[in-house]
Amino acid sequence: MTRGARLAEWVVLYALSIVVALAISSVIVEATGGDWWPVLEALVDGSIKAPGRWGETLGVAAPLLLVALGTVISAKAGLINIGQEGQLLMGAAFAVYFSFRIGGPGPLNVVLLLLFGALGGAVWASAAGLLRYWRGVPEVLSTLLLVFVALQAVGYGLKWQWLLLADEASRGNRNLVSEQLAKTNRIPRPDIFGNEFPITVYVALALALAVAYVLARTVWGFRLRMLGHNPRAAQRSGVSSTVYGATALAIGGAFAGLAGAAMFAGGGFSFGNYRLVPGFSDNIGWTGLLVALMARERALPAVVAAFVFAMLRTGAGFVNSTGVESRITDVVQGLLVLALLVPPAVVFLRDRRRARAAATERV
């Protein structure tokens, strides 16, 4: 099969899978008492067309993309990191704790806040790396369990003023909240055509380009991909699985932590209104993992996937106006992820069947 024919086959398979996923979604909408066309219109209005909505969608897409980029780096090393939710939360907690204690001029404090957020996520992911390479604990298990430890740790921190809790005068009628970030220390939010979004959108796009370049064009990226494809061959070529694997996990956690810090300092009303509160992560970590899966663990396709998932999140509120439960968008997310996992499975089974047939003929 020629390269062009194989590319056409992939395009057809992906197109069919997405069409089937959308068709199933429309059937589910109809079955729940709604009409799929008004639901689609409401989704588009709530995420793009209504005044100020595409700026809100970009603001949500940025942390999703950052989490997905970290997931891509871990996956290239052959590691399954599913603890992004906890790493994001710890990054936000580090950002809150250190930004208020260090202080400093606004721009400097923003930079420090983001750096400490990345550090918090890296530290939390490194705990899983330590367990993986020191005690042989699978990272898929340790990263998941560390999510629940992070939830409890941040919840504990929000009970004490010497950790994360705001003083009584700043809390108002709420009990478990951090101090609100001062206006001078927040990430700038430019207004373009009536749409306001944080400049972390540009940072996330730049990092996507950087990650794509590093993984595809550098020696470090080549060694990381080698480790993911064949650990034994990589080891014989001088690639340390411990060093590269632990580094990949730490960098993946740093991206998630950076997303948490960016949400705190630039998320506005979408993410706690510049405060750390219970439920702050809002499932961005889990959804960012789905973004990476939808992009097939590639950096540049993750940009598009992050925007699609952000559309589903920001448009969900408008779906309620049609009389359909907004949670229907979660079903659509799941179906889209499944749709994009089907073509590789189909091609793999087809190629394996052909290889077996060719081997039988030679015998």
Structural domain contains residue 238: yes
The structure tokens 């530290």 sit at 123
Structural domain contains residue 263: yes
Residue pLDDT, tens place only, 299-323: 999 999 999 899 888 887 787 777 7
Structural domain contains residue 346: no
Mean pLDDT is lowest, of 68-77, 176-185, 226-235, 347-356, for 347-356
Structural domain contains residue 356: no
Instruction: Report helix, strand and coil shares of the chain as percent, to nearest 5.
Output: 75, 0, 25
Per-residue pLDDT band for 293 (boundaries 50, 70, 90) equals: confident
Distance CA 205, CA 262 (A): 14
Structural domain contains residue 154: yes
Per-residue pLDDT band for 1 (boundaries 50, 70, 90) equals: low
Mean pLDDT is lowest, of 12-26, 83-97, 280-294, for 12-26
Structural domain contains residue 319: no
pTM above 0.85, yes or no: yes
DSSP state of 82: -
Residue 138 pLDDT > 80: yes
Average pLDDT over residues 99-125: 91
Average pLDDT over residues 170-186: 80
Structural domain contains residue 358: no
pLDDT of residue 83: 94
Candidates 73, 72, 69, 67; CA nearest to 85 is: 67
Q: Are 349 and 13 in contact (CB under 8 A)?
A: no
Mean pLDDT is lowest, of 41-50, 54-63, 111-120, 206-215, for 41-50
Q: What tokens appear for 53 in the block?
A: 């909505």
Strand partners for 195: 192
Structural domain contains residue 1: no
Mean pLDDT is lowest, of 17-21, 79-83, 169-173, 175-179, for 169-173
pLDDT of residue 40: 80
Mean pLDDT of the chain: 87
Q: Which long-range contacts (CB under 8 A, 24 or more apart) does 130-133 make?
A: 130/246, 132/79, 132/245, 132/246, 132/249, 133/241, 133/242, 133/245, 133/246
Question: Residues of 21-50 as b/e, b for ≥16 C-beta within 10 angstroms?
Answer: bbeebbebbeeeebebeebbbbbeebbbee
In percent, how much of the chain has pLDDT > 90?
44
Average pLDDT over residues 106-124: 93
User: Which residue range is the domain that position 143 belongs to?
Assistant: 61-299
Residue 45 pLDDT > 70: yes
pLDDT of residue 174: 66
Q: Number of folded domains in the chain? A: 1
